[in-house]
Structure 1
Amino acid sequence: MKPNLTTTLVEHLRERISSGAIAPGDKLPSENTLIADHGVSRTVVREAITRLQAEGLVHTRRGAGSFALTPPAEDASTQARVPRTLAERRQLIEFRMGIESEAAARAASRSASANLTDMDSALAAFRAAGPNAAQAMSCDYEFHLAVSRASANPYFVQAVELFGPAMIAMPRQRFEIPDGKLAPRLERVAEEHEAIRAAIASGNQLSASAAMRLHLANSLHRLDLESGIPEGN
Structure 2
Amino acid sequence: MFTKVDGPVRLADRVAAMLADEIESGRLTTGDKLPTEVELVKQLGVSRTVIREAVSRLSSAGLVEARQGRGVFVLPPRTRPLDLDADTTDTKAKVLQIVEVRRAMEGEAAELAATRATPADHTRMRQALAAIDAAVAAGGDGADEDLAFHRSIAESTGNTVMVSTLRYLGEVSRGGIRVTRANEARRDDFYDAVREEHDSILTAIEQGNPKAARTAARRHLEHAATRLQKAGPEFWNTTQDLDVDLDTAE
TM-score range, shorter chain: 0.5 to 0.7
Gaps of 5+ in 2: 20-45, 64-76, 235-250
The answer to whether structure 1 residue 200 and structure 2 residue 205 are counterparts is yes
Alignment partner of 1:191 out of 172, 191, 196: 196
Q: Which AA in structure 2 matches 1:29?
A: D
Deviations along 1:30-88, one digit per CA (max 9) or x if unpaired, are 31xxxxxxxxxxxxx46xx79x58xx6389x9884478677999x89437556862222
Distance 1:94 1:190 in 2: 20
The structural deviation recorded for 1:183 is 4.6
Alignment partner of 1:170 out of 178, 184, 200: 178
Gaps of 5+ in 1: 1-19, 32-44, 177-181
The 3 A distance-change label for structure 1 pair 158 and 119 is same
Distance 2:96 2:6 in 1: 33
Alignment partner of 2:114 out of 86, 108, 114: 108
Q: Which AA in structure 2 matches 1:194?
A: D
The answer to whether structure 1 residue 29 and structure 2 residue 31 are counterparts is no
Q: State the Cα RMSD in Å.
A: 3.9
Distance 1:112 1:101 in 2: 19
Alignment partner of 1:144 out of 150, 156, 171: 150
Distance 1:100 1:149 in 2: 12
The answer to whether structure 1 residue 153 and structure 2 residue 159 are counterparts is yes
Give the TM-score normalised by the residue count of structure 1. 0.62
Distance 1:216 1:62 in 2: 34
Deviations along 1:5-26, one digit per CA (max 9) or x if unpaired, are xxxxxxxxxxxxxxx9xx5xx6
Number of residue pairs matched by the alignment: 181
Identity %, equivalent residues: 26
Aligned to 2:24: none
The answer to whether structure 1 residue 78 and structure 2 residue 83 are counterparts is no
Alignment partner of 1:223 out of 225, 228, 231: 228
Distance 1:216 1:142 in 2: 16
For the Cα contact (< 8 Å) 2:184–2:191, is it kept in 1?
A: no
Distance 2:121 2:109 in 1: 13
Q: Which AA in structure 2 matches 1:93?
A: V
For the Cα contact (< 8 Å) 2:114–2:204, is it kept in 1?
A: yes
For the Cα contact (< 8 Å) 1:58–1:68, is it kept in 2?
A: no
After the TM superposition, which residues 9-88 of structure 1 pair with which residues of structure 2 at under 5 Å, given as runs?
23=2, 28-31=5-8, 45=9, 52=13, 57=17, 64-65=49-50, 77-78=79-80, 85-88=91-94
For the Cα contact (< 8 Å) 1:27–1:65, is it kept in 2?
A: no
